[in-house]
Amino acid sequence: MNLAKLQEKLLAAARLDRPSEAVPYAFEQRIMARLARVAQESADLWTVWSRLLWRAAAPCLGLTVVLVGLAALSGALQGTPLTLGEGLETTVYAVLTEPAD
Amino acid sequence: MERNDEELVAAVRRGDTASFEALVRKYQPRIFATARRYARRESEVEDIVQEVFIKAYQKLDTFRGEAPFEHWLMRLAVRTCYDFLRVHQRNREHAFSELSEPEQDWLERFVQDPDQAPEDAAAARALVQRLLDMLSPKARLVITLLEIEERPVKEIAALTGWSVSLVKVRAFRARAEMRKCLQKLKREQYL
């Protein structure tokens, strides 16, 4: 049995069998509709993400206010320098001054 | 006046999505013909074509215009078909089980006199389809492009993204794989 010949014969059959270029009716409209959906989905992702961020902002702000309030009540803020410059200086030199204490 | 591909691509990039429809309308017959080489069911063919155009739209920014748009789109189509083959590696083992009567008749005719078995017979087309279904995705792609579509090796390299030497190596292996499949046909006593 000549397998090489059979292979050649079958490949020749495949060469003769040209696939059709037929396109289903209004296929381009289906593509355009799908593209619009894809664009909509990606836009939706941004909308969801920004909505989540806005929702997270209010609890974060509330938590900050509560912590500041608690710190003020417990006296943690007492004894802090009055000016911003003094505060910065104290913070920067804190590491250096600590061992001496 | 009809706009050329470059003008249409530029318009789509500027945000005119409707211009993409003209590109789809122009190239969909070719993409359908390409997809039908690799998928049998019409629903699968439609899915492949749809994926090609969605990818083309999403990757349009990577089209630099050095080669014609058609070449760029065909590269995308061939790679999408290759991905399809890799995902749908079905029936590779059972392709030769239960040959139809016309297919068996055609093979018998070939055994008696190879020149008498007609190449344009539906049975021969069905047999070659079975044979292609048995090949690995790489082998099927290279056999289709090189042996069936008779494209030059350089063009296949450009379409697949493989180097010229890799295409040659894969073509050699694909022919060997094909012969192995035919030997299986012989073992199953159809020949």
Q: Kindly report, residue by residue over B161-175, the tens digit of the pLDDT.
A: 999 999 999 999 999
Maximum Cα–Cα distance across chain B: 65
- Best of B8, B12, B27, B28 to disrupt the A interface by mutation (most A CBs within 10 Å)? B28
Residue B1: predicted pLDDT: 65
Highest mean pLDDT among A34-48, A57-71, A76-90, B156-170: B156-170
Which token pair is B165?
């030497």
Distance from CA of A44 to the nearest CA of B (A): 17
pLDDT recorded at residue B91: 54
Write out the two tokens for A3.
């397998």
For residues B168 and B79, the answer to whether their CB atoms sit within 8 Å is no
Cβ neighbours around A94 below 10 Å, total = 9
Q: Are B178 and B135 in contact (CB under 8 A)?
A: yes
Contact B33, B48 (CB under 8 A): no
pLDDT score, position B112: 86
Instruction: Return the pLDDT at B176.
Output: 93
- pLDDT higher than 70, residue B90: no
- Output the average pLDDT for chain B: 89
Contact indicator for B55, B9 with CB cutoff of 8 Å = no
Smallest CA–CA distance from B131 into chain A, residue: A10
ipTM for the whole complex: 0.83
Q: What would the mean pLDDT of A37-63 be, rounded to a whole number?
A: 84
| Predicted confidence (pLDDT) at residue B177 exceeds the cutoff of 90 | yes
Q: How far apart are CA A19 and CA A36, in angstroms?
A: 30
Distance between CA atoms of residues A22 and A24, nearest Å: 7
Using CA atoms, how far apart are residues B24 and B33, in angstroms rounded to an integer?
A: 14
Among candidates A5, A13, A20 on the partner chain, residue whose Cβ is nearest the Cβ of B114:
A5
pLDDT over 70, % of chain A: 87
Distance CA B77, CA B109 (A): 38
Read off the pLDDT of each residue in B98-117 and give the average, rounded to a whole number: 85
- Specify the higher pLDDT residue, B179 or B116: B179
Residue of A10, A17, A35 with shortest CB distance to B17: A35
Q: What is the DSSP string of A58-90?
A: HHHHHHHHHHHHHHHHHTTTTT--SSHHHHHHH
**Contact between B53 and A31 using a beta-carbon 8 Å cutoff:** yes
pLDDT single digits (tens) A23-32: 999 999 999 9
Alpha-carbon distance of B157 to B170, in angstroms, equals: 11
List of chain A residues whose C-beta atoms are within 8 Å of the C-beta of residue B32: 19-23
